[in-house]
Amino acid sequence: MNPEHRIRAEALVRELIAIIGDDPARPGLLDTPHRVVKSWGVLFSGYEHKTEEFVRVFEESYDAIVAVKDIDYFSACEHHMLPFFGRCHVAYLPAINGDRAGKVLGVSKLARIVNNVARRLQIQERMTREIAEAIEQAAHPRAVAVIVEGTHLCMVARGVNQQHAVMRTSAMLGDWLEDHRGKDEAMRLLGL
């Protein structure tokens, strides 16, 4: 965030503190605007980078499912600006070229894709689809499956107050839309 935006955002946070009924000049709240805006820099860092900036693809003759389970993520609901968080599970089937070499993603890059997409104002359904599409654009696999589990503070801390509700969303692209055996194998590898 540029310095001018940071100053404006801190002033707005001070104003919000006053609107909700507290004193922004109170000792415990003096540095809160700075801390809030600094935390937003982390929470919304997904706007600063395009996924392709850090994706690394390797040529490899591997033609079986690649699965990574339990990628932690943290996001913010675009409706209430409250956090939601959980785990993302990813499986993909690399494409194989004529010479049997395909494209596999560096394993840490899958976590980077998840984190970059999550770090925006978001809804879980769109986030799930965008993660799958980012993997598809990066490696052009034959199939992609993304399952996201999320706890939403907009459900936990307000509204219906459901402390244990977990939302699960999925996105399937490519061959697994038709190949149910392959999709079932991917889900088994992910433990789902």
Full residue range of the structural domain in which residue 140 is found: 54-189
Q: Is residue 49 part of a domain?
A: no
Indicate whether 90 and 179 sit together in one domain: yes
Q: What is the pLDDT of residue 87?
A: 97
If asked whether residues 140 and 114 sit together in one domain, one would say: yes
**Separation of alpha carbons 44 and 148, rounded Å:** 19
Residue 140 located in a structural domain:
yes
Q: Are residues 152 and 93 in the same domain?
A: yes
Q: Is the pLDDT of residue 7 over 90?
A: yes
User: Per-residue pLDDT tens for 13-53?
Assistant: 999 999 999 999 999 999 999 999 999 999 999 998 888 88
Task: Give the three-class secondary structure for 179.
Answer: coil
Indicate whether 17 belongs to any domain: yes
Within this chain, do residues 60 and 31 fall inside the same structural domain, yes or no? no
Strand 66-77: give its sheet, edge to edge.
121-122, 66-77, 83-93, 143-152, 167-174
User: Which residues, in sequence order, are CB contacts of 83 under 8 Å at separation 6+?
Assistant: 43, 74, 75, 76, 77, 153
95 with 125, same domain: the answer is yes
- Clarify whether residues 79 and 172 are in a common domain: yes
pLDDT at 85 over 80: yes
Round the average pLDDT of the chain to a whole number and report it: 91
Q: How confident is the model at residue 183 (pLDDT cuts 50, 70, 90)?
A: confident
- State the Cα–Cα distance between residues 149 and 170, nearest whole angstrom: 9
Q: What is the CATH number of the domain that holds 16?
A: 1.10.286.10
Domains contained in the chain, number: 2
Which CATH number characterizes residue 86's domain? Answer: 3.30.1130.10
- Please indicate, yes or no, whether residues 62 and 141 belong to a single structural domain of this protein: yes
In sequence order, what are the beta bridge partners of 86?
73, 150
Residues 16 and 62 in one domain: no
Indicate if 29 and 65 belong to the same structural domain.
Answer: no
